[in-house]
Structure 1
Amino acid sequence: MSDSLLSYRPFVQLLAARVLAGAATQMTMVAAAWQMYQLTGSALDLGLVGLLQFLPVLVFTLPAGHVADRYHRARVIAAAQSLLLAAAAVLLAASAGGALSRELLFGVSVLLGTARTFQAPAQQSMVPSLVPPSLLARAMAMSSGGNQVAVIGGPALAGLLFLGSGTAVYALAALMLLGAMVAVLRLQDRRVVSTDPPTLHAMLAGVRFVWQRKTLLGAVSLDLMAVLFGGATALLPIFAQDVLHVGPAGLGALRSAPAVGALLVSLALARFPIRVRVGRWLLLSVAAYGVCMLVFGLSTTFWLSLLALALSGGFDMVSVVVRQTLVQMDTPDAMRGRVGAVNSMFIGASNQLGEFESGVTAALLGAVGSVVLGGVATLAIVAAWSRLFPGLAQRQRFEEGG
């Protein structure tokens, strides 16, 4: 059998659908945020848009994981994409008809967050059923790379297409989502379907599973703590204006740098996957991420700051691929949706709470002090986790979990 992922057509279809839907979602989110600021001129309203997109994660994550395990995952993904399509269609009609309002944009933000909450666990847990275990690490790397393509390309495409009303952005996003739905609905779901009833006990099975397996608990909590304390995204406008003095153009480059680094590393991992000492790779990549944050926080040179952020994105991608592959390999197929939902909730919480933590510490210590403290905290967390979770540190191969 060929060892090329491209020979597995269902995986390629899922990857194409992920890139199309991801880019369309990014386009919609960027355009909606721009229109909100044009309508209200309020930074608080921009913050509320992000909060309303995150609230469904808190409410629906556990049910979303159960749905992914109990029903045809391709259809669950398509249903979530249909919600994204509805959001784009509503914004298209409102933009074309001059009916945009603050309340409408808030409502669409909740719809976007709900769709993404149900899409993520079904999408992640479907990959292992489309490729053999020997190619799973490569598949996870390629899937993560596809996500980075969407994160980079979606906002850039929205910026090029945005012509006053935003109708061109929403129209193209809707077409891309239609294409993604067609690709997903052609997939077959060959797996063991969970027969657990839709009870709270069944929904919490993913939480219990992760808690009882210390290697998985260490892997997902390491990401939570590292991003919670080590992130700097929320403070980039301050660095662009007050530290590096590069203005809006420099801010755009700083925002893009981690994604560019992550994309390049994901392509490398798809070609040369990590096979041995996977636990050590995870811990070292998070430690290297912390060092990059230290360099960025102390840098007063634009090119060095840009390089530090690009490298941080690359090291973060190593940890993402290792963590996601561990989660998929160690989890029975009938529970991958619920365990994936727990993983998604950890990621979402770390990103949102991390931005809040950065703001609070920056208010107390300044932006530079906040990032430097975060880098030091990340290194301390890696040292602590290597002792708290020795099974994770000593994990040699992905296949050890069965």
Structure 2
Amino acid sequence: MAKNDPYAALRFREFNVFLMLRFAMVFAWSMQFVVIEWQVYSITKNALSLGIIGLMEVIPAVSLALFAGHIVDQSEKRGLLFKCLFGFSFVSIGLFLLTWPRVTEHLSTSLTLYAIYFLVFCGGIVRAFLGPTIFSLFALIVPKKVYPNAATWSSSVWQMGAVVGPAAGGFTIHLIGVHWSMCVIFGFSLFALICLSQIKKKPIMNPKIGEPVMQSLKEGILFVRNSKAVLGALTLDMIAVLFGGAVALLPIYAQDILKVGPQGFGILRAAPAVGALITMFTSAYFPLYKKAGIKLLAAVFGFGVSIIVFGLSTSFWLSVLALFMSGVTDGISMIIRQTILQLKTPDHMRGRVASVNSMFVGSSNELGAFESGLTAKLMGTVTAVVFGGSMTLITVLATGIISPKFRKLDLRKDLEEHEKSE
């Protein structure tokens, strides 16, 4: 195997553009989600309303995921991604208007709330197509021999966007208010469109164009079921994220428990971003594909411990440290999972496999938000967070005991095979 080059993927111009696009999109999406969380909780003062936001996005995202995967595998990826970005821009404009006092003063509180839920639902439809399209486009930009390195950079950029976006949301709410924060989000969606215009159209790699929908969906599901490495990684991460969705309750912690206001809210949201940054720089130099199984188990276990510490903490800076560690461990988990998916998935099935991934992992973020909101309503905020972290630890231990083959998973052989094929 060739000596590790931490910048191998960055030597391809389109991949650098792709990273900017992905960061802009994830940043905008995650910032939008947290700004709307803040606005809805400010309106309702109800923890369950935070869970409903996640539920409104996850219902269409999960319901349409498999069909979206089929369409992605049958379509030209760049053109489809343009449509997804236009859809997100439409949702952002709508939320911009619904947070504008000149508009909302003519609407009842209930109507404004339902309209926000509706637009979040529309965003879920867009997201069903967005994830599989980006995953498939990724594989057409860089050669297979640099997939692990590219997955490291791509996953780290995703992680940074996912946590820097909400952190920026907290700060912009304080500095310019919810309404103009939505304007910033729309600006990032336009930047993503500009980046996409710098990427050339890519060939459709699917040899089965026109394949019946049900047959196509069945093939994708069977592939994931029969691939123990893919299924194990997705299942582990889904359960961990589902029960570790404590960040959905950060508005409650910032406003009612730690009492730190929007400034503290921004710092809490920024803490995982710092952890993700460290993960990005270190994992590029220390590849995670060696002994990937045990590293993934350790990372998710560390994530669960971090969530429990955060839930029990009454100290602002201890809470910040716990969230920082959750960013580090979650970033490692994501990089390993994306490397497994990229190396184990055939080109013509990437859309469908990515759709299954979005059902397992991507949507579990919103289901985790709903679970956290519901359990906080039923058993209290602190108890709900500790419960979620504990369930994460139990899942890791059970996976390690039940599946020794997954525990011993190593991706070096897969990478060597890809290098020989090129």
Both proteins in one fold, TM over 0.5: yes
Give the alignment of 1:382-393 within 5 angstroms.
Answer: 382-393=396-407
The residue correspondences of 1:170-185 to structure 2 (distance < 5 A) are: 170-185=182-197
> Does 2:83 match 1:69?
no
SS at match of 2:142: coil
1:125, 1:328 within 8 Å by CA — same for their partners in 2? no
SS of 2:323 mapped into structure 1: helix
- How many residue pairs get aligned? The number is 400
- The answer (yes or no) to whether the contact 1:214–1:389 under 8 Å persists in 2 is no
Amino acid at match of 1:326: I
2:408 paired with 1:394: yes
Cα separation, partners in 2 of 1:219 and 1:249, compared to 1, 3 Å: same
Q: Retained in 2: the 8 A contact 1:91–1:170?
A: yes
Deviation at 1:340, TM superposition (A): 0.7
| 1:53 shift after superposition | 2.0
Aligned-pair CA distance for 1:64: 1.3
After TM superposition, give the deviation of residue 339 of structure 1 in Å: 0.5
The superposition leaves residues 194-253 of structure 1 with CA deviations (integer Å, 9 ceiling, x where unpaired) of 525241231233222111111211110001112223332234455556665545543432
User: Structure 1 residue aligned with 2:301, among 287, 293, 312?
Assistant: 287
Match of 2:286 in 1: 272
Q: Describe the superposition over 1:339-365 as per-residue Cα deviations: whole angstroms up to 9, x where unpaired.
A: 011111112342233334334544565
- In 2, the alpha carbon distance for the partners of 1:293 and 1:36 equals 24
Calculate the TM-score normalised by the size of structure 2. 0.83
Q: Deviations over 1:8-63 (max 9, x none)?
A: 0111111111122233334444555555567x546465554433222211221111
Three-state SS of the structure 2 residue aligned to 1:204 is: helix
Q: Which amino acid aligns with 2:333?
A: S
- Indicate if the aligned counterparts of 1:329 and 1:399 stay in contact, CA closer than 8 A: no
Counterpart amino acid of residue 182 in structure 1 = I
Q: Which has the higher contact order (CA 8 A, sep 6+)?
A: 2
Look up the SS of the partner of 1:288 in the other structure.
helix
In the alignment, the residues of structure 1 paired with residue 393 and residue 231 of structure 2 have an alpha-carbon distance, to the nearest angstrom, of 19
Counterpart mapping for 1:186-201 below 5 A: 186-190=199-203, 192-195=205-208, 197-201=211-215
2:56 corresponds to which residue?
52
Question: For residue 342 of structure 1, what is the aligned residue in structure 2?
Answer: 356
CA distance in structure 1 between the aligned counterparts of 2:71 and 2:388, rounded to whole angstroms? 36
- Is the contact made by 2:238 and 2:364 (CA closer than 8 Å) also made in structure 1? yes
Aligned-residue CA RMSD (Å) = 3.1
Q: Which runs of 5+ in 1 are unaligned?
A: none
For 2:136, the equivalent position in structure 1 comes to 125
CA drift at 1:393: 1.1
In structure 2, the residue matched to 1:375 is 389
User: Equivalent pairs: percent with the same residue?
Assistant: 37
Cross-structure match for 1:11 = 15
Q: Which of 79, 86, 98 lines up with 2:83 in the alignment?
A: 79
Separation in 2 of the partners of 1:328 and 1:10?
Answer: 18
**1:143 corresponding residue in structure 2:** 154
When structure 1 is superposed on structure 2, of 190-199 and 125-134 the one drifting more is 190-199
Distance 1:296 1:321 in 2: 23
The residue identity in structure 2 corresponding to 1:179 is F
Deviates more, 1:274-283 or 1:87-96: 87-96
* Secondary structure at the counterpart of residue 64 of structure 2: helix
Instruction: Say which is worse superposed, 154-163 or 171-180, in terms of deviation.
Output: 154-163
Counterpart CA distance in 2 for 1:93 and 1:126 is 32
Q: Distance in 2 between matches of 1:75 and 1:257?
A: 36
